[in-house]
Amino acid sequence: MQAGRHPHFDAAEFSGRIARLRARMHGTGVDVALFDEIEAMTWLSGFGNSENRWRCVGVPLEGEPFFLIRALDASPCRQRTWITDVPTFRDWEDPMPVLALALAKRGLQGARIGLDFGSYCMPVARFSRLREAFPDAQFVDLGNVIWELRLTKSPAEIALLRRAAGVADQAMVRAAAACVRDASQRDAAKAAAAAFIELGADPSPPGPISAGCGWDFLHGHLEDRPLAEGDVVHIELTPRVSGYSARLMRCAVVGTPSMELENAATLLSGLQDRQIAAMQPGAIAEDVDAILRHGVIESGLRASFDNISGYTLGFYSHAGPRTSDFTRIFHPGATWRLEPQMVFHMYASAQGASFSETVLVTDQGPERLTRLPRTLIINH
């Protein structure tokens, strides 16, 4: 059967991903690896879907991969994936016998099978079912190997993130402009969601939008009450293009902002500018984090800093349970080093002000993919 064609990634992209995975598999001694998290499946195959019925991508150390999936979803899978072997099962059938046939065809029914034991699709009951279905197999924990491999982005992935960042900038202008007297936070959400569709991003919720103060309001509730003079609306937009998400935070002020808010915003923006400038290849994450963390506390903007200051960006499925990728995070004690082609969401909040950017680490240093001016957005 002819392989599908992905709209953004060519065959070389996927063969490179499989080669990187197999190098890691070889080091663990597994014969075949099964991946059932939607982000992992999509990164490896070009297609992923929700877990209404269990499904997985199987990658043997040698030979052709396969995509086990319910029959109803096989056609859209084949349209997107380069994988030609797509064994299926009917909705009311147990997928394990079909998986057993796929492994037996490759002589792997008694193999060392690699899994991510931390997969959100692998609860205890399912793991027990796997062990019952393959009594002669050994199961090996590969950990979050795909999340690690996804940390550095290819040029094609970065192109999608650039597009998403451009959508974020334009959608933010529209969402913030909707924050006027007697409007509501819902009007800002409506403007952002419509902008996503119009500008070529995936249909999706706009991201957290809430009015608040302090620093812990970022993930507050969307309210319907009319906005009034002095309200500050925190807007965090999370547009995705083919699943790849850029992110951007700004505050929209209804009327004239207080001097305290203006001062906080100026200080916060300046501290984050310094932090982003430090995001050089080889920099240690805790040192980058400390610039913002210590600066915010020492300037009196916050008494404590109990959250991270940045995290990994990349592919986010609409059907996955994780809204953020914490494979790499910026915090005290984060000893990992920044590498070229990593992309992060760097964010800061204090005293009702909030800013964030999508930042690409390049060989020459950091590049802001989101480019909106870093100031309060004031609607008189």
Per-domain residue ranges of the chain: 11-149, 155-379
Over residues 6-31, the mean pLDDT reads 96
pLDDT of 95-115, one tens digit each?
Answer: 999 999 999 999 998 999 999
Residue range 155-379 in CATH 3.90.230.10: yes
Distance CA 182, CA 275 (A): 37
Q: What is the CATH number of domain 11-149?
A: 3.40.350.10
| Average pLDDT value for the chain | 95
CA 261 to chain centre: 31
Distance CA 152, CA 361 (A): 10
Whether the per-residue pLDDT at 216 is higher than 90: the answer is: no
288 close to 332: Cβ distance less than 8 angstroms? no
Over residues 118-129, the mean pLDDT reads 96
Distance CA 55, CA 95 (A): 8
The pLDDT value given to residue 218: 61
Instruction: Label residues 39-76 b or e (16+ Cβ within 10 Å = b).
Output: bbbbbbbbbbbeeebbbbbbbbbeeebbbbbbeebeee
Distance CA 316, CA 213 (A): 28
Q: Is the pTM of this model over 0.85?
A: yes
Instruction: Please name the amino acid found at residue 68.
Output: L
Distance CA 288, CA 101 (A): 50
pLDDT of 33-51, one tens digit each?
Answer: 999 999 999 999 999 999 9
Residues contacting 33, CB < 8 A, separation 6+ = 21, 25, 58, 59, 113, 114, 115, 142, 145
The pLDDT value given to residue 213: 56
Residues contacting 21, CB < 8 A, separation 6+ = 33, 44, 59, 145, 146, 149
Distance CA 171, CA 188 (A): 10
pLDDT of 333-349, one tens digit each?
Answer: 999 999 999 999 999 99
Local confidence band at 221 (pLDDT 50, 70, 90 cut-offs): confident
Residue 81 corresponds to which tokens in the numbers above?
Answer: 């994936």
pLDDT of 223-247, one tens digit each?
Answer: 888 999 999 999 999 999 999 999 9
Pairing of strands 56-60, 310-312: unpaired
Residue 327 corresponds to which tokens in the numbers above?
Answer: 């494979």
Local confidence band at 217 (pLDDT 50, 70, 90 cut-offs): low
Alpha-carbon torsion 104, 105, 111, 114, what sign? negative
The length of the chain in residues reads 380
3-state secondary structure the chain: CCCCCCCCCCHHHHHHHHHHHHHHHHHHCCCEEEECCHHHHHHHHCCCCCCCCCCEEEEECCCCCEEEEEHHHHHHHHHHCCCCCCCEECCCCCHHHHHHHHHHHCCCCCCEEEECCCCCCCCHHHHHHHHHHCCCCEEEECCCHHHHHCCCCCHHHHHHHHHHHHHHHHHHHHHHHCCCCCCCHHHHHHHHHHHHHHCCCCCCCCCCEEECCCCCCCCCCCCCCCCCCCCEEEEEECCEECCEECCEEEEEEECCCCHHHHHHHHHHHHHHHHHHHCCCCCCEHHHHHHHHHHHHHHCCCCCCCCCCCEEECCECCCCCCCCCEEEEECCCCCCCECCCCCEEEEEEEECCEEEEEEEEEECCEEEECCCCCCCCEEEC
Whether the per-residue pLDDT at 84 is higher than 70: the answer is: yes
Over residues 146-152, the mean pLDDT reads 98
Local confidence band at 15 (pLDDT 50, 70, 90 cut-offs): very high
The pLDDT value given to residue 4: 75
Instruction: Label residues 95-133 b or e (16+ Cβ within 10 Å = b).
Output: bbebbeebbeebebbebbbbbbeebebbeeeeeeebeeb
pLDDT of 17-28, one tens digit each?
Answer: 999 999 999 999
